Amino acid sequence: MKMPSIPFFLSVALLASSSATAYTWPSPQYDALEKLLYEGRRLDGQSMSDLASGCKARPGGGNVAAQWLRFAFHDFATRDAAAGTGGVDASLFYELDRSDNPGSGLAAAANEYLLFASKYVSRADVVAIGAALGVTSCGGLNIPIRGGRIDATAGGPWGVPGIDQDIATHTARFATAGLNPTEMILLVACGHTLGGVHSTDFPNVVSLARGQAVLQQFDTTGTKFDLKVASEYLAGTTRNPLVVAANVTLRSDARIFNSDGGATLRSLVASSPAQALASCNNVLAKMLEGVPKETVFTETVKILPAKVIDPRLTVENGHLIFHTDLRLTQAIGTNAPSNRIVTLSWCDGRGSTANCTRTMNTARAAATSQPPSSPVGLQEGFYFNQYSFRVPISSTQSVGKFWFTVKDGSTTKTFTNGGAFYKLKQDNVIYAPRLAQSLNIGSHHHGHGLSSRSRQQVVVGIRSELSPSKVFVNSIEVANSVTELPVKSTTQLTLSQSIKPAGGYKFYSGTIHANTDGLTFDVGAIIGGITYTEDYLTPQLSTLISYTTPSVVSAFIPSV
């Protein structure tokens, strides 16, 4: 997406620092980050972006996006840039009881974020993605996001700027965090174009009205990311409670906005709306990338025009099945051609015809769906079409490399993973969810509400000719509360006496006790001293889709 020019007072060097490395599958961390950012949902489909889309208000008052953005700032604010410590590291989860982190909105955000951290997406990355989703949902620009943030396991130092502090203290605190005085003004203005002050959280700033709680917004369009907070301040019409509070000591926004005589805000308001939003975009990106020095960022997470999803072998109804999906972007305002043909092609992985010796296989998509597109994805100008394949496979042939072709009338595109092709990592160990059962054994109170704790049966297939020394499940549950870590456990599986061999595999089963809301796990086996795994799974069964009968054609590998 082409970005508007940036006003002179804010450097764009930060954005140029992102890695230019091209995406190559497999990249499970990138795939998980891309899904959460552009589809707005986690692996099992539960949506994070739905919580904030449309600049949604929170029941009982408040704006979700504003609270998510405030959460990111409070996490960042105690950073020591010179020392390389603190910043957006999720330490705020352990600091919510401190006096410098008042407000029920921070606790609400923490409980929401808890649900979306996973093996490949840290809590700190969720904090950054949440801020980006919130800003975009209210009309701001997409903030560039990189993953790889490291989660703190305890609270960090005190020091979030307080509304009663003088300008020298504020300036020094922001400088320690890595922001100069101009960036301080911009960050406060951009952060306070959304939301407001709750009387229940700050009764010394906003009074109750007839005994009822009140939310006084920072500007007249508190649910729109439009910088009215700046123009109304300059016009003298502002009702920003941190500018007009009866107690002058509590007018922190007034002190910050006027710290350079209003020059930064005047420049911001004088620029075009697109330039003003871009200025916010950049200072917010700098905040979200203020992280501990040990952090190793991914490349900037960009929408994948063609994304291969969940390629796996499994057993269903006694047959070995290869299933995978191809997700394609589609420009908003357009439809995929009605005559589109999406084809999966693959080589056998075993036997005399492996590596497309004499033959290769093809199958057309068995079903089409439209995954959701988050506000970030929609602002990029795209929605998604997803094409699903379920193909019977012989275990003596298995699956080697595979690729896709998309034929739209006279135009054909081939997707070969940049010439490297897509390849199953291994086929010695497979996950067989349709042979498993989930039995609910009651509920317990979870940190984010009442959640179901289940006895979850897991079934793993091992090629019949192999003899594993160990078959196991490594599971990861979301944490039980914001001050706890995710729950990790390992369960050993045993050869099933009730599930008959099928599809060239014998089956091992076991039971894990877990909160299934947000549960992911890896299954694996040690065979001949080598560990084979299937990675990042959920217990949910795949959607029932008709099998596609493959065709076998003369060998051909697309040019790359």
pLDDT score, position 436: 86
Same structural domain for residues 195 and 70? yes
pLDDT score, position 2: 34
Residue pair 242/163 in contact (Cβ under 8 Å)? The answer is yes
Same structural domain for residues 212 and 131? yes
Q: Is pTM, for the whole model, over 0.85?
A: yes
φ, ψ (nearest 5 deg) of residue 175: -65, -40
Interatomic CA distance for residues 18 and 15, integer angstroms: 6
CATH number for the domain that contains residue 481: 2.60.40
pLDDT score, position 443: 46
Same structural domain for residues 245 and 393? no
What sign does the CA torsion over 376, 174, 64, 129 have? positive
Q: For residue 127, is it within any domain?
A: yes
Q: 350: buried, middle or exposed (CB in 10 Å: 19+, 13-18, 0-12)? A: middle
pLDDT score, position 62: 87
Same structural domain for residues 399 and 463? no
Same structural domain for residues 199 and 337? no
Distance of CA 55 to the CA centre of its chain: 18
Q: What is the pLDDT of residues 464-474, one digit of tens each?
A: 999 999 999 99
Residue 459 is classified by DSSP as E
Instruction: List the structure tokens of 137.
Output: 């949902």
Interatomic CA distance for residues 541 and 453, integer angstroms: 17
Nearest to 405 by CA among 413, 394, 397: 413
Q: Position 216: which residue type?
A: Q
Q: Mean per-residue pLDDT for 91-111?
A: 95
pLDDT score, position 212: 79
Interatomic CA distance for residues 442 and 506, integer angstroms: 31
Interatomic CA distance for residues 208 and 321, integer angstroms: 63
Same structural domain for residues 391 and 365? yes
Nearest to 332 by CA among 1, 84, 20: 1
Q: Position 48: which residue type?
A: M
Q: Which residues of 161-189 are buried (b: 16+ CB within 10 A; e: fewer)?
A: bebeeeeeebbebbebbbbebbbbbbbbb
Q: For residue 300, is it within any domain?
A: no
Domains identified in the chain, total number = 3
Residue pair 494/509 in contact (Cβ under 8 Å)? The answer is yes
What sign does the CA torsion over 7, 13, 18, 22 have? positive
Residue pair 366/388 in contact (Cβ under 8 Å)? The answer is yes
Q: For residue 293, is it within any domain?
A: no
Query: In whole angstroms, how far apart are CA 33 and each of 118, 246, 261, 507, 534?
Result: 10, 45, 41, 32, 19
pLDDT score, position 445: 45
SS (H, E, C) 189-230: HHHCCECEEECCCCCCCCCCECCECCEEECCCCCECCCCHHH
Q: For residue 14, is it within any domain?
A: no
Same structural domain for residues 73 and 110? yes
Nearest to 206 by CA among 160, 243, 256: 243
Domain extent for 491:
437-537
Q: Mean per-residue pLDDT for 483-498?
A: 94
- pLDDT value at 351 more than 60: yes
pLDDT score, position 209: 76
In this predicted structure, which of 19-23, 97-101, 412-416 has the lowest mean pLDDT? Answer: 19-23
Peptide bond connecting 59 to the previous residue in cis, omega within 30 degrees of 0: no
Interatomic CA distance for residues 468 and 527, integer angstroms: 4
How many Cα atoms within 13 Å fall on the side-chain side of residue 374?
29
Residue pair 487/469 in contact (Cβ under 8 Å)? The answer is no
Instruction: List the structure tokens of 60.
Output: 């009982």
- pLDDT value at 413 more than 60: yes
pLDDT band at 557 (very low <50, low <70, confident <90, very high): low
Which alpha helices (DSSP H) does 236-354 contain, by range?
Answer: 241-244, 252-257, 263-270, 273-288
Same structural domain for residues 507 and 369? no
In this predicted structure, which of 289-303, 310-324, 383-397, 429-443 has the lowest mean pLDDT? Answer: 429-443
Q: What is the pLDDT of residues 79-93, one digit of tens each?
A: 999 999 999 999 999
- pLDDT value at 315 more than 80: yes
Pairing between β-strand 551-554 and β-strand 505-515 as defined by DSSP bridges? unpaired
pLDDT score, position 20: 36
Residue pair 115/448 in contact (Cβ under 8 Å)? The answer is yes
Same structural domain for residues 385 and 518? no
Same structural domain for residues 400 and 464? no
Same structural domain for residues 392 and 458? no
pLDDT band at 213 (very low <50, low <70, confident <90, very high): confident
Q: Which residues fall within 8 angstroms of residue 273, CB to CB, at 6 or more apart?
A: 226, 227
Q: Mean per-residue pLDDT for 208-214?
A: 79
Q: For residue 18, is it within any domain?
A: no
Same structural domain for residues 486 and 342? no
What order do you get walking across the sheet with 306-316 strand by strand?
A: 306-316, 319-331, 382-392, 367-369
Q: For residue 21, is it within any domain?
A: no
Q: Which residues fall within 8 angstroms of residue 554, CB to CB, at 6 or more apart?
A: 358, 359, 360
- pLDDT value at 197 more than 60: yes
Interatomic CA distance for residues 88 and 72, integer angstroms: 7
Residue pair 87/146 in contact (Cβ under 8 Å)? The answer is no
pLDDT band at 516 (very low <50, low <70, confident <90, very high): confident
- pLDDT value at 367 more than 80: yes
In this predicted structure, which of 182-186, 214-218, 340-344 has the lowest mean pLDDT? Answer: 214-218
In this predicted structure, which of 46-55, 262-271, 477-486 has the lowest mean pLDDT? Answer: 477-486
Q: What is the pLDDT of residues 5-62, one digit of tens each?
A: 323 233 333 332 333 357 899 999 999 999 999 999 999 999 999 999 999 998 877 8
pLDDT score, position 541: 53
Q: What is the pLDDT of residues 227-259, one digit of tens each?
A: 999 999 999 999 999 999 999 999 999 999 999
- pLDDT value at 452 more than 70: no
Q: For residue 119, is it within any domain?
A: yes
Q: For residue 120, is it within any domain?
A: yes
pLDDT band at 552 (very low <50, low <70, confident <90, very high): confident
φ, ψ (nearest 5 deg) of residue 130: -60, -45
CATH number for the domain that contains residue 128: 1.10.520.10
Q: Mean per-residue pLDDT for 93-118?
A: 95
Q: What is the pLDDT of residues 150-167, one digit of tens each?
A: 999 999 999 999 999 999
pLDDT score, position 12: 32
